Structure 1
Amino acid sequence: MSLQTSRPQTSNPADEAAIRALYQQQLDGWNRGDGDAFAAPYTEDADFIGFDGTHLKGRREIASFHQMLFDKYLRGSRLVGKVRSVRFLTPDVAIMHAVGGTVMPGRSDLEPDRNSIHTIVAIKRNAEWRFTAFQNSRAQFVGRPELAQQLTEELRQLL
């Protein structure tokens, strides 16, 4: 039995740019209220975990669920987000961490209670990057209100 030490993978700038562009594509889909556009960056078999624990399976389910949200609860809302890091596990698999916040309809500022941390797994198949897993966690920072405020200020810079 041999034990191999894992080495960090080096990233290709074009691959990292493609992954970051998928995140922007998702934001743009939200901001147009378009479930299909929001889900377009995902693989057909993707896993999407929403802030409330909802587990969506596959691009179609992600699109349908988000279209319902856009039509009923989030019509006219705006999502802002920022990629904090992209780390390649292999040349064809990367983990991205991002943060996001929502401006609700009729408002001009973020709803700090809706700020989230995103963990996203991207994979490259047939020379094309797609998201295959997404975990959305509300940024509550229990007992550390200064961190919640810092995140809100970071996201406000995107407005």
Structure 2
Amino acid sequence: MAADPAAPSVRDLYVRLLDAWNRRDAEDYASLFAVDGTVIGFDGSVETGGEEVFEHLSAIFTDHPTAAYVAKVREIRRLGPDTALLRAVVGMVPPGAAGPDPAVNAHQTLIAERHDGAWRIVLLQNTPAQYHGRPHLVEQHTAELRHLLREDPPPLP
């Protein structure tokens, strides 16, 4: 099967999103969303539209030392000619830590749409990856992300 030409563009959009978070740049992060794009946060919070996303993240970045994302893209799938889905496993490396904190492992789902040749995020959902009652899955998730951190240079998600 031929590679989907949308995959690099959608992957790049996701890489830019994580990079903006890791740089603590709320403006850059919010700019990647469609006008009516929505973020469903790890804690269940919902922000819709670039202004809400910007305001929410600005407060977080101002008041908290945020952890950096490390991610592995699992799938990019075209849903239509101008719509794609990206799924990734993620972890967060707290400031000063050597690896991800398993308590905040997550799955991220991103839906992107292309308008006038540019891909924008319509939905980003963070789902906690707690794997209740299955500690081996927590360790497997965390170990996979630790491995990414050991590679030199660290790969882009």
- State the TM bucket, normalised to the shorter chain: 0.7 to 0.9
Query: CA shift at 1:14, angstroms?
Result: 3.3
Q: Given the superposition, is the C-alpha separation of residues 47 and 141 from structure 1 closer, same or farther in structure 2, using an over 3 Å criterion?
A: same
Report if the CA contact (8 A) 1:11-1:88 is conserved. no
Is the CA contact (8 Å cut-off) linking 1:26 and 1:40 kept in structure 2?
Answer: no
Off by >4 Å, runs of 4+ in structure 1 = none
Residue in 2 aligned with 1:113? 103
Find the counterpart in structure 1 of residue 83 from structure 2: 93
Distance between the aligned counterparts of 1:11 and 1:144, measured in 2? 37
Tell me the distance in 1 between the aligned counterparts of 2:2 and 2:108.
20
Task: Please give the root-mean-square deviation of Cα atoms over the aligned residues, in Å.
Answer: 1.6
Gaps of 5+ in 1: 1-9
Q: Tell me the SS of whatever aligns to 1:131.
A: strand
Give the TM-score taking structure 1 as reference length.
0.87
Amino acid in the other structure paired with 1:72? D
Tell me what 2:52 maps to. 61
What is the aligned residue count?
149
Letter in 1 for 2:19: D
Which deviations, in whole Å up to 9, do the C-alpha atoms of 1:98-125 show, x marking residues without a partner? 1111111222221110111011111111
Q: Which structure 2 segments of 5+ residues have no match? A: 150-157
Determine the structure 1 residue equivalent to 2:12.
21
TM-score norm. by structure 2 comes to: 0.88
